[in-house]
Structure 1
């Protein structure tokens, strides 16, 4: 890592250190510091998502649905066409005879991403919606 770094101290209970060390080994982190930096990036993205009124967020909306439900494919497509300003890509996967998984890549203001997710949640046949945002 070529950037300048500040050193801080972190105090954790032994069970958290043990858990962190298992993660470092399992996920092949180069150090505790790198694992903590990774976790902090996730924390920062979640914080920014919750608190920033402005700004652009990047992420995905993933939803599971029953593709046999009342014209759900047409309904989902209609909603997505109405939101082309924030949708950059979509992926549709058949996970079983009845169930599909759709991933919608989004780029836009928090309010618009949340409105899209809520609109998708309200569609009959959609069983789960998950929004994941990542830092800039």
Structure 2
């Protein structure tokens, strides 16, 4: 087994110790290995997923940053085809949290998310992907036949 040495701040060491205790790890090596595996798996999913997806893009930004609100709105409008819904929350006098639910081709969603997160004034950003198959279909809802209505899209999570 290869041995790796890492340095961390005192505050981070305390946080890691609390994590170990809370999840019943016997030592730091086991906890760090599990956390690294989790991070690598998430990175693999986020960076290599292809095909259709739904995703949540969560970001925090300072709405006082010059022109940032306008740039974010312009970016969202330029990719209106990806947008399903957006929730905007005022965290304090300066900062806002937005959660955008997106649907489309994973590579396009990924690039859109990177562009939003990279904006000057965005303090935090994360995208989370769910692989799906998107199908246009006509069918019944609660016994009512919608066959006369144009087919509409449904996103089915992949197993």
Deviations 1:74-122 (Å, cap 9, x if unpaired)?
Answer: 1110000001111111111100000000111101111111111111122
Give the C-alpha shift of residue 51 in structure 1: 3.7
Q: Take 2:91 and 2:66, find their aligned partners in 1: how far apart are those partners? A: 19
Q: Specify whether residues 98 and 49 from structure 1 end up closer, same or farther in structure 2 by C-alpha distance, changes over 3 A only.
A: closer
Segments of 5+ residues of structure 1 without an aligned counterpart are: 1-18, 21-42
In 2 relative to 1, CA 119–49 (structure 1 residues): closer, same or farther, beyond 3 Å?
closer
Confirm or deny: 8 A CA contact 1:59 1:106 kept in the other structure. yes
- Which of 81, 98, 102 is the matching residue for 1:106? 102
Please give the residue correspondences for 1:48-67 in structure 2 after superposition, counting only pairs within 5 Å. 49-53=46-50, 55-67=51-63
2:115 corresponds to 1:91: no
TM-score by length of 2: 0.53
Larger Rg: 2
User: Matched residue of 1:85: which SS?
Assistant: helix
Partner of 2:12: none
The count of aligned residue pairs is 94
TM-score normalised according to structure 1 size: 0.61
Q: Larger relative contact order (C-alpha < 8 A, sep ≥ 6)?
A: 1
Partner Cα separation in structure 1 for residue 114 and residue 45 of structure 2: 19
Structure 1 runs (4+) deviating above 2 angstroms are 45-53
Shift of 1:47: 5.6
Residue 120 of structure 2 corresponds to residue 124 of structure 1:
yes
Structure 2 unaligned spans of 5+: 1-22, 25-40, 132-156
